[in-house]
Structure 1
Amino acid sequence: MPVTDITTDPENLTMTLVADFAAPADRLWRAFTEPEQLERFWGPPGWPSTFTEFDFTVGGRARYHMTSPQGEKSRGSWEFLKIEPEATFEVLDSFVDEDGSPTEGFPPMRMVFTFTSTAGGSRMVNTSHFVSVEALEQSVAMGAVEGSRMAMDQLDAVLQDLREYAQGKGTRTELLDDQHVRITRLIEGPRDLVWRAHHEPELLQRWLLGPDGWQMVECEVGDTYRYVWQQGDDESTRFGFEGETVLSEPTRRAVTTEKMIGMEGPGTLNDLQLYEENGATLLTLLIEYPSRELRDMILATGMTEGMEASYARLEATVIAA
């Protein structure tokens, strides 16, 4: 994990994050100063950012919003106070409303980003300056420490060439905490086709099958969905999942609920995000489980291996066609 230290200092009213990366400093600088790259990591998993304005000049402003899986938006604004190319920049960071006006009760903070070369690559230091101890404590209480760590931990995928980062690694499963699992898989194909493959029944039934020998015998999609599989002609093996669409941002993001048909109790929340680079698509699936116990039970079924079989089939039978 790139974050090596996060320190809060009530006496000096600061919070400082230090992170080290294998990439050179100029590459790290571009990740923080180009909005299309910032959108990939500025926000913890499940709260990706969208930058609607980015005037990277002293006195210029950037505006963005982070969107939760349920569609809730948290809006922010940067005013650029100082820029020293490839070395440092400083912003006044504010919570804002839909019109861009500062949100009452949330004082702005001054953030300083510095970038230096190291023997192994580069280091980023982000120091946030608060107006009072109360403002610092408010930020910490809102999850700033852990949220910042999780956001920066997404940067490795941004700094590397997408194929270099993911090619040959297959489907990867990461345990983020007791309730969240992140699945990643590189798909050799354009994002719009990967999106269609997740939303059109005739395509879904060609790849979303798990291990060989299974077939999807029911496939209903829309605001609600229902998938049912069986092994060969044996109807006694039938099982399925159903759910509803919570958020849809074609062709970038889709959030759905998921529950095994006939099972009592809460299900999962599945946050699918797609990012394309040079004709390849990085598929990220963030799964929120209602408990650690259910998470472990589902992972123990061989979920990752089944997903890899399906994603490999997606490339071979859908994208290649």
Structure 2
Amino acid sequence: MPVTSIETDLDLLTLTIVADFSASLRRVWDAYTDPRQIERFWGPPTYPATFLRHDAVAGGRSIYVMTGPDGDQHYGCWEWTAADAPHTFDVRDHFADAAGASNPHLPTTRVHFAFEETAGGSRLRTTSRFNTPEHMQQLLDMGMLEGTRQAMAQIDSVLADSASFAADRPAEARVLSDTQVRVCRVIRGSVHQVWRAHADAGLMQQWLLGPDGWSMPVCEVATNIGESYRYEWQRDGGDERFGFTGELLESEEPDRAVTTEAMIGTDFPATLNELTLTAVDGGTLLSLVISYTTIEQRDAILATGMTAGMETSYQRLDGLMHSIPA
């Protein structure tokens, strides 16, 4: 078990937990900032976590849900107030609803995560600060300490499983809920390079092509919130054509963009696409959370071979990284 000390300071209203790891500093940092990894240990075994959003930058947010053995669900939200990779980050951690809105009836905790190298690997010091003695006691009575112990006991197996998160793995889709899917892929370039490849029409026309045999004659990129985009593809040597259009709802360069997406010429419901870029060992983790309107729509689109087509595009994107200034 990595937890080596726990200290409660009733005067300062703090709870400090120290954990030591044989893994490197960067490896532990990535485990906390990669949604695929943190959700494998953040909740205790009987209440595993699913991260629906995870922005590892100042000003970002993380929304997660812990699901109990009877199907009961409990949402939490981190509001990222500071981040200095790979050394420290600070969040306001509060109970929430599915959209991340704070539950006013339960306490908010300020948490400082500090990562440092040691002779044997690395150390994480987590300091939680409470607003009042009553808030501190309320969370302790709710099992905060034991839940943290159980959650931390799972992290060693995640750190040892580096193969599941290696930079050379193809795009993978994970079902998050009845209406949400997350597609992840590490791109071998910096966050700025990957962002530019999504914002420059000329670059997009070189990689966002799906299977071989298609070109992208129309690529109208939305760069400002509220603008619309339009992408169209055509089969080489034929008239077969399709496309998508939508609106840019959020843009936080170079870390996050949110768009709607609807297929041109159909009445299929639009999806909500949330793109997050996170620096990890080996490149940039591209995480795309797609929200559908129904489980039937989700399953129908997954059955088209969506993930395989995305992987083909991401392979081309990998090949472009050397030509984009860092």
Taking structure 1 as the reference length, the TM-score comes to 0.61
Identity of paired residues, percent?
36
Matched, 1:124 2:156: no
Matched, 1:287 2:290: yes
Q: CA–CA distance in 2 between the matches of 1:53 and 1:262?
A: 44
Deviations 1:255-279 (A, max 9, x none): 1111101221421111111111345
Q: CA–CA distance in 2 between the matches of 1:281 and 1:162?
A: 16
> How far 1:173 moved relative to its partner?
1.1
* Stretches of structure 1 lacking an aligned partner (at least 5 in a row): 1-23, 55-60, 95-101, 117-121, 126-151
Q: What is the SS of the residue equivalent to 1:91?
A: strand
Deviations 1:208-266 (A, max 9, x none): 0001110001001112211000101322x110001111111111111111110122142
Q: What is the SS of the residue equivalent to 1:264?
A: coil
**Counterpart for residue 225 of structure 1:** 229
Matched, 1:77 2:109: yes
Q: Give the alignment partner of residue 301 of structure 1, picking from 294, 300, 304.
A: 304
Matched, 1:109 2:139: yes
Q: Give the alignment partner of residue 313 of structure 2, picking from 304, 310, 315.
A: 310
Aligned 8 A contact 1:65 1:73 in 2: no
1:288 partner letter = S
**Counterpart for residue 3 of structure 1:** none
**Counterpart for residue 51 of structure 2:** 44
**Counterpart for residue 18 of structure 1:** none
1:251 partner letter = P
User: What are the within-5 Å matches in structure 2 for residues 1-321 of structure 1?
Assistant: 26=21, 38=32, 40=34, 41=38, 44-46=51-53, 48=55, 50=58, 51-53=80-82, 62-64=90-92, 76-78=108-110, 91-92=128-129, 109-110=139-140, 111-112=144-145, 124=152, 156=158, 159=159, 165-222=165-222, 223-235=227-239, 237-278=240-281, 280-316=283-319, 318-321=320-323
Q: CA–CA distance in 1 between the matches of 2:101 and 2:167?
A: 33
Aligned 8 A contact 2:233 2:243 in 1: yes
Q: CA–CA distance in 1 between the matches of 2:171 and 2:244?
A: 21
**Counterpart for residue 58 of structure 1:** none
Cα RMSD, aligned residues only? 4.4
Deviations 1:97-146 (A, max 9, x none): xxxxx9xxxx9634326877xxxxx9626xxxxxxxxxxxxxxxxxxxxx
> How far 1:169 moved relative to its partner?
2.0
Aligned 8 A contact 2:187 2:286 in 1: yes
Deviations 1:139-175 (A, max 9, x none): xxxxxxxxxxxxx99x94xx47978723332111111
> How far 1:90 moved relative to its partner?
6.7
Q: CA–CA distance in 2 between the matches of 1:231 and 1:256?
A: 25
Q: CA–CA distance in 2 between the matches of 1:162 and 1:207?
A: 28
> How far 1:63 moved relative to its partner?
4.2
Which 4+ stretches in 1 moved above 3 angstroms?
Answer: 27-31, 36-43, 47-50, 61-66, 71-77, 85-94, 113-116, 159-164
**Counterpart for residue 132 of structure 1:** none
Aligned 8 A contact 2:269 2:293 in 1: yes
Aligned 8 A contact 1:25 1:115 in 2: no
Aligned 8 A contact 1:88 1:114 in 2: no
Q: CA–CA distance in 1 between the matches of 2:163 and 2:209?
A: 25
Q: CA–CA distance in 1 between the matches of 2:249 and 2:309?
A: 25
Q: CA–CA distance in 2 between the matches of 1:46 and 1:180?
A: 11
Q: CA–CA distance in 2 between the matches of 1:255 and 1:109?
A: 34
Q: CA–CA distance in 2 between the matches of 1:290 and 1:87?
A: 40
2:229 partner letter = Y
Q: What is the SS of the residue equivalent to 1:78?
A: strand
